[in-house]
Chain A
Amino acid sequence: AQKITQTQPGMFVQEKEAVTLDCTYDTSDPSYGLFWYKQPSSGEMIFLIYQGSYDQQNATEGRYSLNFQKARKSANLVISASQLGDSAMYFCAMREINNNNDMRFGAGTRLTVKP
């Protein structure tokens, strides 16, 4: 069964607007971490933001924020004030602390920022 689901294969957003990339997850481990990574066409995976399962507040890092809804098992990434350089693949990932730190990635969402 899929542990990480990203339902949007591709998304478009106008420059300077905000965009939300969806991610839902499935785990029975009470201790887990959620991550978002960006992968530009050059191939490197760039860590963006992290949310722990016990964190009370939504994580924020600059223009990135994570909308963590634990009961719904969702961890959507919100990018505010989109820039052309934000065009890339975005991957949601989950790490289960009590499962050998098993790390699983979603299939990714390709974001295109239009000028």
Chain B
Amino acid sequence: ETGVTQTPRHLVMGMTNKKSLKCEQHLGHNAMYWYKQSAKKPLELMFVYSLEERVENNSVPSRFSPECPNSSHLFLHLHTLQPEDSALYLCASSQDGDQPQHFGDGTRLSIL
């Protein structure tokens, strides 16, 4: 029981498809995050939501669109992705401040 659940675990999609990644946290945290982990690159922070408001968008292309309907749920909507977007996408949650982030198991995304 990680406390942070991501679905699906694996996703294969074509470049013209539209799909969404889902993240749910059961820890009562007030901040949620999307990260991208590519091979041979450090973990990249994509989006941060604090109290359901987006507080950070690290120059992420518009083909990635986050949504945080409440403090427990976070989505990443995908549209017209490129092959270089193939990666492991990790969701995390934390309490604001200096508390550690707790991660989900990730969604491994492959773009054909």
Contact = CB atoms under 8 A, between A and B. Distances in A.
Interface of A: 4, 31-33, 35, 37, 42-47, 50, 52, 91, 93, 95, 97, 100-108
A99 to B, nearest CB: 10
Contact of B96 (A43, A52, A101, A108): A101
Given A45-B90, A50-B100, A105-B43, A100 B106 contact: no
8 A-B pairs with least C-beta separation: A45-B103, A33-B98, A105-B43, A44-B105, A47-B100, A107-B42, A43-B106, A105-B42
Given A43-B105, A44-B103, A47-B103, 10 more contacts: A33-B100, A37-B103, A43-B88, A45-B90, A45-B92, A45-B106, A47-B102, A95-B98, A100-B55, A105-B42
Interface string B75-107: 000000000000010101000111011111110
28 contacts: A4-B42, A37-B103, A42-B105, A43-B88, A43-B105, A43-B106, A43-B108, A44-B2, A44-B104, A44-B105, A44-B106, A45-B90, A45-B92, A45-B106, A46-B103, A47-B100, A47-B101, A47-B102, A47-B103, A91-B43, A95-B98, A97-B97, A100-B55, A101-B48, A101-B96, A103-B101, A107-B42, A108-B42
B33 to A, nearest CB: 7
A76 to B, nearest CB: 18
B45 interface: yes
